[in-house]
Structure 1
């Protein structure tokens, strides 16, 4: 974790997700990409050490927990959706499910 957080500090990260949906009844498939960016203010070393000591950051990809009370105030901006940052973009997933359920072929 100590190698991830200094790279986030005063910088940004980009997450990219691909969701693929298959209608098992019809065989119709659809998929799509979703990207989100998170911009951070400077992250103090004390915050990094507290996150590491707490240990929860070891349970998530890249140690990235936007909603964590120590991290949230250090997030300057999120471009895209926070659920995409967490790994499953809800709006895209719902859209693809609806597409997979339609009878028309593309």
Structure 2
């Protein structure tokens, strides 16, 4: 069976190792390869979370593209190759939260969400490697939580599920889901890749 990628006549590279992003892009029906950007995300600072996630997606794309060296091979390809990069942060009480730097910080993050809420801001950037055209933007969602017992928080920390995700928040994890009250906005935005933005930007760059 032909995938969307082959039906529409382009190849896709996902510039992320995120399991959630891989799953979302696969759910959308795309075949894709994986490349990751080795960048110091902490070196990119912006006051507004929307500006930060867009800037980080751009830096990731630039870092991956620089590894190709000779870009003429993409220009001569019959099918364009699209590079998709993304970034996500959590905003809690007006403060930007990226990946926790320690178990203690992860515990502090999750305790803050208990009986409260956090906003998730996520960017998507699609770059056409054949033409150089790129389109990007951001989306936002809010997650409201029930009270999360300390025992559950301890289990989350011990599993290590919170260290490698923005704001220590992994919505889809079985330990987290029972304590999610409401999501205002798109769940895929919370998980790391807005389907709506991805589809729109793919159309825009083709």
TM category (shorter chain) comes to 0.7 to 0.9
Query: Bigger relative contact order, structure 1 or 2, given CA contacts below 8 A and separation 6+?
Result: 1
Instruction: Show the counterpart of 2:13.
Output: none
Unaligned runs of 5+ in 2: 1-105
CA–CA distance in structure 1, aligned partners of residues 130 and 143 of structure 2: 38
Of 112, 124, 130, which aligns to 1:7?
A: 112
1:87 aligns with one of 192, 200, 203: 192
TM-score, structure 1 as length reference? 0.84
Q: Structure 1 residue 7: deviation in Å?
A: 0.7
Equivalent in 167, 171, 175 of residue 70 of structure 1: 175
- Aligned equivalents of 1:76 and 1:85: distance in 2? 14
**Inter-partner Cα distance in structure 2 for 1:70 and 1:87:** 18
The whole-number CA distance in structure 1 between the counterparts of 2:191 and 2:148 is: 20
Q: Distance in 1 between matches of 2:133 and 2:159?
A: 45
Please say which of residues 5-14 and 79-88 is displaced more in the overlay.
79-88
Which of 123, 131, 141 does residue 26 from structure 1 map onto?
131
Deviation at 1:6, TM superposition (A): 1.1
Structure 1, unpaired ranges of 5+: 102-106
Secondary structure of 1:57's aligned partner: coil
> Residue 59 of structure 1: SS of its match in structure 2?
coil
Aligned to 1:60: 165
- Give the TM-score normalised by structure 2: 0.46
| 1:69 CA displacement | 1.5
Provide the rounded CA distance (Å) in 1 between the counterparts of 2:174 and 2:134: 39
How many angstroms does 1:22 deviate by? Answer: 2.4
Moved over 3 A (4+): none
Q: Distance in 2 between matches of 1:26 and 1:37?
A: 36
Structure 1 residue 11: Cα displacement = 0.9
